Amino acid sequence: MINLIKEYINKLDKGSVNTYLNNQGIHLNSNELDIIYNHLKNNWYTFLYEDDTPILNDIKEKLDNDNYLKLLNLYKKAKEKYSFYL
């Protein structure tokens, strides 16, 4: 499963992330999108398998509060929904 996720993350581009988030009602400015995209690309393993608190705290400091709360809610729902597969 880890290799499948890693391959998906390697192919992930900023436009796809932006489109997905827009479809979820989350509209980031270019700086916020860069922050989220870089964390996804570089910290996906931590998000899935380790303590994500330091990363979430970093994101919280850099994003608009409303966008952060929407992203956090989306993240928690996805993690709960797919935790069985991880």
Q: What is the pLDDT of residues 20-79, one digit of tens each?
A: 999 999 999 999 999 999 999 999 999 999 999 999 999 999 999 999 999 999 999 999
Q: Name the nearest CA neighbour of 66 among 20, 16, 27.
A: 27
Separation CA 28–CA 24 (nearest Å):
11
Give the Cβ contact number of residue 46 at 10 Å: 14
Domain spans of the chain, in order of start: 2-85
The better pLDDT of the pair 2, 44 is held by 44
pLDDT(6) > 80: yes
Query: What's this model's pTM, rounded to 2 decimal places?
Result: 0.90
